[in-house]
Structures are given as structure tokens and as C-alpha cells.
């Protein structure tokens, strides 16, 4: 009987691993072109191969890395480059606050690594997963390892062989991430106040996008949605949390 | 200008601070007020929507349509249907029209 249970535990861990890889697979299609391009552009802009690799291994945030390259090219002061990257990544503060509540059964070391790997699709997939079942380290890290490994390897390919993909937009690849995020958002439609939150966020996001400009629309639009959710909240709704 | 390695490492630290910061601040709170709890539950819907909204209106009508189709098909059927519907429309339009 004991053996049977152990087998079951092992079987479920394997299922979790495969679920993580399966859910990461569509994201790879979107990551690869950006990643190859980053490798190519980084070297084009004067980084050495080792510096490009260091950036991808240690920062692991594709949009910020493009911005960093661009600002480095403009010879801006270091503090301004770092501040821009911080501003661009500010949405991750919200991600880490929200997902941290679902990582309470992770060990301290697992959490340290988990937060490092908290890119947009990772966050979205972890939230979506925790809607249907408990978020396990096996699931979280197999998803993360799939994306991270692909990211680093294809960066190297881009750095070594230049612009392999000439027109990624022909296949609509430049649009996979927005489509993926749209589909993910829909997965949260049963959460309370969803329509109010989503409409509020999109309106404010567009307003900021066309006035103050990118990347502020993400954080400010997102915060507007949070304010709506907080306003609509009634004490009894969350007593089971 | 400082050397590239310094800039890269500082950017990596700035990024890691945002990815842990929210959790570290929040974990000092103890029990959460229901409004804060509701706000945190709304993070995926709110932030991902804010991220996507400009893509839907600034890239041309067919790109906007692709987002709408993705919205409709993932609402009605599943996530995968949504992504494929958007991609098919974009792929057809960009290659054949």
C-alpha cells in the first residue's frame, strides 16, 4: 500500500512536469524570434558575445534588454539606464505580490529562484494553473526551465549566426504574445468584478499610452484595474481566502 | 560611460528587485484587508489587459480583429482556439492579401 502511494506521488510529479512543458510550448514560438533577434542586435550594437550572454542569463526580461541596449547606444548615464529598466519592469512588483501568496509552500530557496524567473508568461501561466489546482514547484519550474533554456540557447544562435529570421511578422509571430495574453486574460473571466476590472484597465492603459506614453500604460492601467477591484470588494467575499 | 558588464549587472539587480519586491513588502503585512486581497486577485486581469490594450488599437485593423477573435474564441471555446484563431487571420492576411 505504501509503495502504491509512493508511485502515485511520483506519477503526479511527472504529470506536473509534463503539464509545465506542455503549457510552455506555445510561448516558445513567440520567444524564439525575439530571442534570436536580441542575440543578433546585441552584438551588432557592440556587446561581446559574453556580455550578451550575461545580460540574458542575469536580466531575463526581453523588453528591458532591448531598452538597455538602445540607451547604452545613446551613451546615457548609468543611473538613467537602470531607472528606465526599473520603470519598465514595475509591473513585476504586482506579479510578485500576487503570486507570492500561492508560493507559500515553496521552500525559501525555491522562492528565491521562482521570483527570478517571474517573466510575464510565467506569471500568467502560474496564476492560470492555480485556478484549476495547487501550484506545485514541479509545474512552476518545468515551465520556467523550458522557457529559460530556450531563451538562452536561441540567444546564442542569434549571437552566432545573426539575423536568421528576416521577416518574423509574415507568420504573425510578432503577435503571438499579445494573442496569448488575450486568451489568458479570458481565463480569469470568472474572478469577481472581471468585466469592470478589464474594461477599466484597458481604458486607462490606452489613455496613458496616447498621453504619457509607453511603458507607463502597463503599470498605471494595471493599478487602475486594482483600484476598481478594491472599490468593488465586499468584506464577506474574501473571508475564505 | 561605465563598462557594459556594470550596466548589465545593475539592470539585473533592478529587475530582480521588482520581481521580489511586491512579495517582500506584502509578507510584512500579516493578515490582508479584504480590499487589498481583492486588488491582488485582480492583478492578472488588470495588468495583462493593460499590457495588451495598445496592441489591439495601434497595429492596424486586422491586428485588432485578431485580438478580438482571440478574445471571442477563447471565451467560447478554449485558450488554444483563441490563439490559433488570431494567428490564422493574421497569417492569411499578411501572406495573401
Instruction: Write out pLDDT tens, residues A142-197.
Output: 999 999 999 999 999 988 887 555 555 556 666 877 888 898 889 889 888 999 99
pLDDT at B40 over 70: yes
Give residue A4's pLDDT band: very low, low, confident or very high (50, 70, 90). Answer: low
pLDDT digits (tens, 9 = 90+) for A109-149: 999 999 999 999 999 999 999 999 999 999 999 999 999 99
Q: Where are the alpha helices (DSSP H) in A134-193?
A: 137-161, 176-186
Distances (CA, A) of B72 to A27, A185, A187, B78: 20, 12, 12, 10
Same domain, residue pair A195 and A225 = yes
Scan residues 37-76 of B and list those with Cβ closer than 8 Å to A.
37-59, 63, 66-67, 70-71, 74-75
ipTM over 0.90: no
State the DSSP H helix or E strand holding residue A7, giving kind and residue range, or none if neither: helix A2-44
Residue A159 lies inside a defined structural domain of this protein: yes
Q: Are residues A170 and A196 located together in one domain of the fold?
A: no
Has residue A92 been placed in a domain?
yes
Question: Best-predicted range by mean pLDDT among A11-20, A33-42, A143-152?
Answer: A143-152
| Co-location of A44 and A11 in the same domain | yes
Are B97 and B50 found together in one domain? yes
Residues B58 and B36 in one domain: no
Q: Do B26 and B71 fall within a single domain? A: no
Domain that holds residue B29: 1-41
Instruction: Write the CA distances from B77 to A182, A224, B95, integer angstroms.
Output: 14, 29, 27
Neighbours of A80 (CB within 10 A): 11
pLDDT for A163 equals 55
**Does residue A184 sit within a domain?**
no
- Is B32 in the same domain as B48? no
Same domain assignment for residues A61 and A169: yes
**pLDDT on residue A165:** 54
Nearest CB to A97: which of B25, B49, B83?
B25
Shortest Cα distance from A85 to chain B (angstroms)? 6
Is A113 part of a structural domain of the chain? yes
Of A176 and A228, more confident: A228
What separation in angstroms does the CA of A183 have from each of A157, A215, B70?
A: 30, 22, 6
> Do B53 and B96 belong together in one domain?
yes
pLDDT at A240: 46
**Long-range contacts of residues A111-117, Cβ cutoff 8 Å, at least 24 apart:** A111/B23, A112/B20, A113/A141, A114/A140, A114/A141, A114/A144, A115/B16, A115/B19, A115/B20, A115/B23, A116/A60, A116/B16, A116/B19, A117/A60, A117/A141, A117/A144, A117/A148
Better-predicted residue by pLDDT, A38 or A164: A38
Shortest CA distance from A227: residue in chain B = B39
End-to-end CA distance of chain A: 35
Domain hosting A57: range is: 2-174
Rounded Cα distance between B17 and A31, Å, is 23
User: In terms of domains, do A10 and A124 share one?
Assistant: yes
Is A216 within 8 Å of A87 (Cβ atoms)? Answer: yes
Judge if B68 and B25 occupy the same domain: no
Say whether both B94 and B56 belong to one domain: yes
Determine the pLDDT at residue A164: 52
Total structural domains within chain A: 2
Q: Mark whether A11 and A105 lie in a shared domain.
A: yes
pLDDT of A241 strictly over 50: no
With respect to residue A44, please indicate whether it lies within any of the assigned structural domains.
yes
Distance from CA of A211 to the nearest CA of B (A): 12
Side-chain-side CA neighbours of A103 within 13 Å: the count stands at: 30
The answer on B37 and B5 residing in a single domain is: yes
Percent of chain B with pLDDT over 90: 62
Residues A209 and A149 in one domain: no
d(CA B76, CA A116): 35
Residues B35 and B49 in one domain: no
pLDDT in tens, A45-88: 889 999 999 999 999 998 889 888 888 887 778 888 898 888 88
Q: Do B90 and A222 touch (CB under 8 A)?
A: no
Q: What's the domain count of chain B?
A: 2
Q: Does A143 lie in the same domain as A34?
A: yes
- pLDDT for position A119: 94
**Pick among B9, B14, B42, B82 to test the A interface (most A CBs inside 10 A):** B42
In a domain, A168, yes or no: yes
Q: Which pLDDT does position B79 carry in this prediction?
A: 82
Q: Mean pLDDT, chain B, as a whole number?
A: 90
Residue A100 has pLDDT above 90, yes or no: yes
| In a shared domain, residues A48 and A149 | yes
End-to-end CA distance of chain B: 48
Amino acid at each position: 500500500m505504501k509503495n502504491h502511494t509512493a508511485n502515485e506521488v511520483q506519477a503526479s510529479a511527472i504529470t506536473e512536469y509534463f503539464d509545465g512543458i506542455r503549457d510552455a510550448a506555445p510561448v516558445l514560438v513567440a520567444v524564439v524570434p525575439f530571442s534570436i533577434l536580441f542575440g543578433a542586435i546585441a552584438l551588432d550594437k557592440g556587446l561581446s558575445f559574453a556580455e550578451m550572454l550575461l545580460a540574458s542569463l542575469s536580466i531575463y526580461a526581453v523588453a528591458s534588454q532591448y531598452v538597455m541596449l538602445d540607451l547604452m547606444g545613446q551613451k546615457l548615464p548609468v543611473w538613467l539606464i537602470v531607472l528606465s529598466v526599473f520603470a519598465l519592469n514595475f509591473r513585476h512588483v504586482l506579479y510578485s505580490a500576487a503570486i507570492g501568496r500561492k508560493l507559500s509552500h515553496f521552500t525559501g530557496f525555491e522562492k528565491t529562484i521562482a521570483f527570478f524567473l517571474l517573466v510575464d508568461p510565467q506569471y500568467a501561466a502560474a496564476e492560470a494553473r492555480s485556478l484549476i489546482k495547487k501550484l506545485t514547484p514541479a509545474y512552476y519550474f518545468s515551465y520556467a526551465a523550458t522557457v529559460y533554456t530556450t531563451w538562452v540557447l536561441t540567444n546564442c544562435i542569434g549571437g552566432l549566426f545573426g539575423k536568421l529570421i528576416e521577416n518574423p511578422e509574415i507568420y504573425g509571430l510578432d503577435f503571438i504574445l499579445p494573442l496569448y495574453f488575450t486568451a489568458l486574460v479570458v481565463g480569469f473571466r470568472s474572478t469577481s468584478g472581471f468585466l469592470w476590472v478589464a474594461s477599466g484597465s484597458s481604458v486607462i492603459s490606452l489613455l496613458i499610452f496616447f498621453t504619457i506614453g509607453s511603458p507607463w500604460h502597463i503599470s498605471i492601467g494595471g493599478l487602475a484595474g486594482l483600484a476598481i477591484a478594491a472599490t468593488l470588494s465586499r468584506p464577506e467575499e474574501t473571508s475564505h481566502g | 560611460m561605465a563598462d557594459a558588464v556594470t550596466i548589465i549587472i545593475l539592470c539585473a539587480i533592478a529587475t530582480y528587485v521588482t520581481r521580489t519586491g511586491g512579495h517582500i513588502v506584502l509578507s510584512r503585512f500579516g493578515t490582508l484587508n479584504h480590499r487589498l486581497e481583492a486588488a491582488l486577485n485582480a492583478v492578472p486581469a488588470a495588468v495583462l489587459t493593460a499590457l495588451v490594450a495598445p496592441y489591439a488599437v495601434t497595429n492596424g485593423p486586422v491586428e485588432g480583429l485578431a485580438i478580438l477573435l482571440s478574445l471571442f474564441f477563447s471565451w467560447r471555446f478554449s485558450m488554444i482556439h483563441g490563439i490559433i484563431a488570431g494567428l490564422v487571420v493574421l497569417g492569411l492576411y499578411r501572406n495573401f492579401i
